[in-house]
Amino acid sequence: MRRCPLLSLIFLAALAMAQPPIAGVPPGGDPTSRPGYSPDMNRDDPRLGQTDENRFFREAFLTGMTAVELGKVAVAKASNDAVKQFAQKMMDAHLKLNEDLKQLARTGMEHDFLPGDSLWARPDNFAAPASACRSQTLGSDDPSLDCKAFLASSEKAAAQWELERRFMVFEARFQGPGFDRLLPRQ
């Protein structure tokens, strides 16, 4: 039987992403009932900019990007066509999930009760921004004068612009050689 180290790598990565059982809690048991449990143990530290609201998106996106990068390695290095096909499907699925997470965050902001007009030209359609910001790179540090004026007049649009900026900053962390630290050494 021929061993496939790449398939083993994918399996180990999937296993590493699985959540380990909590010590002292029987399968299916309530983790909050274990001795020494404190509700604060599951909270992020707001002093570090980590809140329960953004933790889910950050961790879900990071997990998805890790799967995408592992898929790229598998597509490039695998000799078995079935492994390459699986890796490509895994990459496609995780890229779609990551885009869905962004859409979910945008929808939440769109329906927020902030005053002012939306950054988006049409409700729940995030393909085109309002005309004042249409030719801009969303979230950039240097919007046009018209776009700056629009953002200054709408708290909602300004918050949506900030969300787009945060998407850009977060995703930039996974571009290029800096992302190599999450991949296994070869």
Same domain, yes or no, for 105 and 152? no
Is 12 among the domain residues?
Answer: no
129 forms beta bridges with 120
Do the beta carbons of residue 98 and residue 61 sit within 8 Å?
yes
Shared domain check, 144 and 166: yes
Residue 41 has pLDDT above 70, yes or no: no
What are the φ/ψ torsions at residue 28 (nearest 5 degrees)? 80, 0
pLDDT at position 184: 41
Alpha-carbon gap, residue 90 to 72, rounded angstroms: 10
Side chain identity at 105, as an amino acid letter? Answer: A
Q: Does 48 score more than 90 pLDDT?
A: no
**Quick check: 7 pLDDT over 80?**
no
State the pLDDT at residue 171: 80
| 170 shares a domain with 120 | yes
Amino acid letter for position 107: T
Q: Which residues make Cβ contacts (< 8 Å) with residue 148, sequence separation at least 6?
A: none
The one-letter code for the residue type at 108 is G
Range of the domain at 107: 55-111
Residue 185 binned pLDDT confidence (cut-offs 50, 70, 90):
very low
Per-residue model confidence (pLDDT) at position 147 = 96
pLDDT tens string 15-24: 445 445 545 5
Confirm whether 24 is domain-assigned: no
Q: Is 97 within a domain?
A: yes
Asked whether residue 9 is assigned to any structural domain, the reply reads: no
| Total domains, the chain | 2
The pLDDT of residue 177 is 56
Domain-located, residue 83: yes
pLDDT one-digit tens code per residue, 89-144: 988 888 888 888 889 989 999 998 899 999 999 999 999 999 999 999 999 999 99
Q: Are residues 101 and 66 in the same domain?
A: yes
Give the orientation angle of helix 145-153 with respect to helix 155-172, to 10 degrees: 120
Express as a percent the part of the chain with pLDDT over 70.
64
Would residue 130 count as lying in a domain? yes
Residues 169 and 121 reside in one and the same domain: yes
